[in-house]
Structure 1
Amino acid sequence: MKVVLATSNKGKVREIIDLLHDREVFPYTEVIEGFEIIEDGDTFKENALIKARVVYAALGDSDVIVIADDSGISVDALEGAPGIYSARYGGEGASDRDNLLKLVEALKEKRLNTSPAHYTAAIAIVSREGENCVHGWMHGDVISELRGENGFGYDPIFIPDGYKQTLGELPNDVKKGLSHRSKALELAKILIDQIKFLRSHAGSAVIR
């Protein structure tokens, strides 16, 4: 049973494959040519489902399970921004660093060095059995200086609750236990295993 990721983001692909290491997982771009997906939902859940549905339809293979992640960071001092726009906060074609620097600048414009913030991850699962979406969260604070080069996205400015180091400074094994995406994927694993169980028992008869 193949699990296809509805993303070509290398950072997300690495993290998800690592977290689902005991399953056959690969990005959809290994099967078909990559294409633009219009994410016009109003929530992380809506955008995750949009991506998963579009890729599932494009693959044209009812045996695959498609999972899609939509995630981002919400900063209290910025009234929840960048939120669902985290990946394109710096504008069209913005890089991770562009987004990061814009958030730092937004904090400085408010003369703030720190603010409470949280990450959200929505993982959508689309298969012939139907659609589901699960969530994970990670709470902490953002700061206005970049620290550490481990990870990607906003990791160098986010300090998880209970820690003094940013995600960019923390080792991967610690980050894995804190990650909003890993929390959501743990729930997604349960749903994927349920689908596997249903398929393995489809059509089986009960002998009494």
Structure 2
Amino acid sequence: MYIDSKKRMKLLFASSNEHKLTEINAILPHGFQLISLKEIHFHDEIPETADTIEGNAIQKATFLADKMNIPCFADDSGLIVPSLNGEPGVYSARYAGPQRDANDNMDLVMEKLDQQSDRSAYFTTIIALYIHHKVHLFEGRIDGTIIHEKRGNNGFGYDPIFVPNGSDKTFAEMTTEEKSAMSHRGKALAKMTEYLKRIG
């Protein structure tokens, strides 16, 4: 059941976020087939109530694993700004309120940083993979800087205000391939796929 007709391992992704699906599809090696919740007509709300990024990833993966007989994984990510005491962190998606509006979230971060000299930040992603009745965790991180204005139309979330170290572009100014080559999610996914290749 885990392998399709082209001998690719099936992996169910515990997210309905189309932006994440696009990014992960661009990164995932040829030996794997990503299955979305939409493809299996799964419309239940997946809980995301932990107080840590790691906890949310585990919660989502185990919730789906309890319902499906297939390897599944979930990710949770956050923007960490040291001069804001680690905010927005686990609350990144709803930082400015329950409306989960990306522009509101970015505006609030830039407003709070207005009087700060240290604008360093980093994105972190934790992927929780549930396979063979166990959870395995993989982490990715990318350091950078929060700029003073929004730039670019690609990506999602805080991408228009985040410039990774070593680049002069925001994530939102990069192509999917450029972003995936250095992103937190790309690094975590690479670790997961290497693990899956090792266990066969």
The TM-score normalised by the length of structure 2 is 0.88
Gaps of 5+ in 1: 198-208
Answering whether residue 142 of structure 2 is matched by residue 138 of structure 1, we say yes
Q: What are the superposed Cα offsets for residues 108-133 of structure 1, whole Å, 9 maximum, x if unpaired?
A: 3xx24760000001011002241100
Larger mean CA deviation between 37-46 and 178-187 belongs to: 37-46
CA RMSD, Structure 1 to Structure 2 (Å):
1.7
For the structure 1 residues 35 and 105, does the alpha-carbon distance in structure 2 shift closer, same or farther, using more than 3 Å as the test? farther
Structure 2 residue corresponding to 1:37, chosen from 37, 46, 56: 46
Percent of matched pairs sharing the same residue: 36
Structure 2 residue corresponding to 1:72, chosen from 67, 78, 81: 78
Summarize the alignment of residues 180-199 of structure 1 with structure 2, pairs less than 5 Å apart: 180-195=184-199, 197=200
Q: Shift in Å at residue 81 of structure 1?
A: 0.3
Give, as a single letter, the amino acid of the residue that structure 1 aligns with 2:76. D
Matched residue SS, 2:125: strand
Matched residue SS, 1:187: helix
Matched residue SS, 1:137: strand
Matched residue SS, 1:24: strand
Q: Shift in Å at residue 78 of structure 1?
A: 0.9
Gaps of 5+ in 2: 3-9
What is residue 56 of structure 2 aligned with on the other side? Answer: 47
What is residue 10 of structure 1 aligned with on the other side? Answer: 18
What is residue 26 of structure 1 aligned with on the other side? Answer: 35
Larger mean CA deviation between 181-190 and 112-121 belongs to: 112-121
Q: Shift in Å at residue 33 of structure 1?
A: 2.9
Q: Shift in Å at residue 27 of structure 1?
A: 1.5
CA distance in 2, matches of 1:142, 1:34: 35
The TM-score normalised by the length of structure 1 is 0.85
Following superposition, which runs of at least 4 residues in structure 1 exceed 4 angstroms of deviation? none
What is residue 127 of structure 1 aligned with on the other side? Answer: 131
CA distance in 1, matches of 2:175, 2:48: 32
Give, as a single letter, the amino acid of the residue that structure 2 aligns with 1:159. V
CA distance in 2, matches of 1:144, 1:36: 36
Structure 1 residue corresponding to 2:154, chosen from 146, 150, 173: 150
8 A Cα contact 1:3 1:66, kept in partner: yes
Q: Shift in Å at residue 168 of structure 1?
A: 1.5
For the structure 1 residues 169 and 114, does the alpha-carbon distance in structure 2 shift closer, same or farther, using more than 3 Å as the test? farther
